[in-house]
Amino acid sequence: MAILAETASDEEWPGFNEQLLKLTEKNIESSSVFRKFYLKHFASATNNQGFFAKQNGDIPSALGYYIKSLKILEEISDKKGIALSLLNIGGIYEDQGDITKALENYLRSLKIQEEIGDKRGIAYSLNNIAIIYANQGDFPKALEYHFRGANIREAMGDKKNLAHSFLNIGTIYDKQGNNKLALDYFIKSLNIAEEINDKNGIAHALNNIGVNYTKQNNYKEAAEYLKRSLNIREKIGNKQNIAHSLNNLADLFVKDKKYNDAFIYASKSMKISTELGFPINIRKSANSLKKIYQQQSKYKQAFEMYELEIKMRDSINNQETQKAAVKKQMQYEYEKKELETKAEQEKKDVIAKAELTQKEKERNYFIVGFSLVLILALFILRGYKQKQKANAIILAQKHLVDEKQKEILDSIHYAKRIQTALLPSEKYIDKSLRKLNKI
């Protein structure tokens, strides 16, 4: 059921997710053995509820669901899930203009993802932090984080999110006034999104290309791309993105001096933006309507829109004070991370040096030990050879003595034989004596 909820189409997945929610909630209390399993999927379904609520413009409910999901994931120590929830919560705070809380959640998420080696999550966090830098006007730092994220995604073959990275990179170049390079990255993003049939990605890329053409005063091309984007977004039903597309079309027609068309789109954008309660969208809609009323000589309405624009601007941030505070915090976090990285590297260097020293000692001990064994072996070999030589001498001497002894014995035996041969026998002597007595 979890797989169905996460892989179903945009139209189908809320229904599957609702079934997943009921199934897991029912089994959480009834199963102690699989409690953690059911809690994990219950948290996932709750997170999905937050996503769906955000798509429908119910931001307070979305934030509530995301926080509820986070608490469950913290209970079961699911670090990967915790990091994802923090990203979603940070996104809500960013949309509401609370940059400090948004950054806090993004940095917490990044830290956890680096701990567990979640490359996909790291890329998400890098992307979101880059957007914060971009909104604060630090474009070089924003590009640095975006390219780091894009490189991870490209290495992973994550085409969907690589397309998003290209969109964001193009947006930075657009803010820097480099329309050509911006358009190149928007088109790269569109090509990938169309290749994988990512409707949200296609709509985003079409919208950005349309805005780029508007800035280049190519109104015909701009209108074509923006309307294609709006059409897709209306089918998806994401109200926040619909409001963006409507306002971009209003801005285009104001520049093209087609004020009636501009008013239709700006009014629709204002209605949706007010329902959503997003200050950024309301400010943009108010700005477009202000320009339209000015051209129509409706100065009272124009002034009302101007006041609303200022009010929304102030509610988003006290430009200089909050920007300075956020930059200070970002600098602190950056320096803190740099120091932690440096300390970690120094620790690794000390360990590596100690290991190298230990290896050198072991090598030296081995050399000394081997030398001693070799010398001892040489002594033993020398003694063995000397013993063999002595044994050979003794053996030769023994052979010589044996030969001499044999010669002596042979001589004695020979003499004895001669003596025996020369002397008469006792029998002969006795016979001779008897003969003499007879005479």
pLDDT of residue 348: 72
- Answer whether 312's CB lies under 8 Å from 286's CB: yes
CATH of the domain at 103: 1.25.40.10
Rounded to two decimals, the pTM is 0.56
Q: Tell me which of 117, 139, 166 is where a domain ends.
A: 117
The reply to whether 96 falls in a domain is: yes
Q: Average of pLDDT values for 35-64?
A: 83
| 399 pLDDT above the threshold of 90 | no
Q: Average of pLDDT values for 134-142?
A: 89
Q: Average of pLDDT values for 84-104?
A: 88
In this prediction, residue 56 has a pLDDT band, given cuts at 50, 70 and 90, of confident
| Domain with 401 in it | 362-424
How far lies 170's CA from each of 134, 147, 204, 246, 392, in Å?
A: 12, 11, 12, 21, 95
pLDDT tens digits, 277-287? 888 888 888 99
Q: Tell me which of 74, 91, 117 is where a domain ends.
A: 117
The reply to whether 52 falls in a domain is: yes
| 321 pLDDT above the threshold of 80 | no
The reply to whether 18 falls in a domain is: yes
Q: Average of pLDDT values for 425-438?
A: 60
- Answer whether 4's CB lies under 8 Å from 14's CB: no
* Residue for token pair 């914060």: 132
Q: Average of pLDDT values for 222-228?
A: 96
The reply to whether 5 falls in a domain is: yes
The backbone torsions φ and ψ at residue 12, rounded to the nearest 5 degrees and listed phi first, read -90, -30
The reply to whether 10 falls in a domain is: yes
| 262 pLDDT above the threshold of 80 | yes
Which has more pLDDT, 328 or 136? Answer: 136
Least confident of 6-15, 228-237, 306-315, 399-408: 6-15
When divided into structural domains, the chain yields a total of: 2
Amino acid at 296: Q
Q: Tell me which of 117, 149, 172 is where a domain ends.
A: 117
Least confident of 64-78, 123-137, 423-437: 423-437
| 352 pLDDT above the threshold of 90 | no
The reply to whether 403 falls in a domain is: yes
- Answer whether 239's CB lies under 8 Å from 56's CB: yes
In this prediction, residue 319 has a pLDDT band, given cuts at 50, 70 and 90, of very low
How far lies 396's CA from each of 297, 302, 306, 384, 387, in Å?
A: 137, 131, 127, 18, 14
| 139 pLDDT above the threshold of 80 | yes
* b/e map 63-79, b = 16+ CB within 10 Å: bbbbebbbebbeeeebe
CA pair distance 153, 128, nearest whole angstrom: 14
| 158 pLDDT above the threshold of 70 | yes
353 alpha-carbon distance from chain centroid: 28
Q: Average of pLDDT values for 167-171?
A: 94
Among the listed residues 229, 238, 232, 235, the one whose alpha carbon sits nearest the alpha carbon of residue 54: 238
pLDDT of residue 341: 62
Which has more pLDDT, 56 or 432? Answer: 56
| Greatest distance between any 2 Cα atoms in the chain | 200
The reply to whether 129 falls in a domain is: no
Q: How many CB atoms lie within 10 A of CB 51?
A: 17
The reply to whether 6 falls in a domain is: yes
- Highest-confidence segment of 24-38, 195-209, 408-422: 195-209
pLDDT of residue 176: 93
| 317 pLDDT above the threshold of 50 | yes
> In sequence order, which residues have a C-beta less than 8 Å from that of residue 12 and are 6 or more positions away?
none
Q: With 0-12 CB in 10 A as exposed, 13-18 as middle and 19+ as buried, what is 95?
A: buried
Q: Average of pLDDT values for 152-178?
A: 94
| 3 pLDDT above the threshold of 50 | no
> In sequence order, which residues have a C-beta less than 8 Å from that of residue 186 and are 6 or more positions away?
166, 167, 170, 205, 208, 209, 212
Average pLDDT, the chain: 81
Which has more pLDDT, 141 or 340? Answer: 141
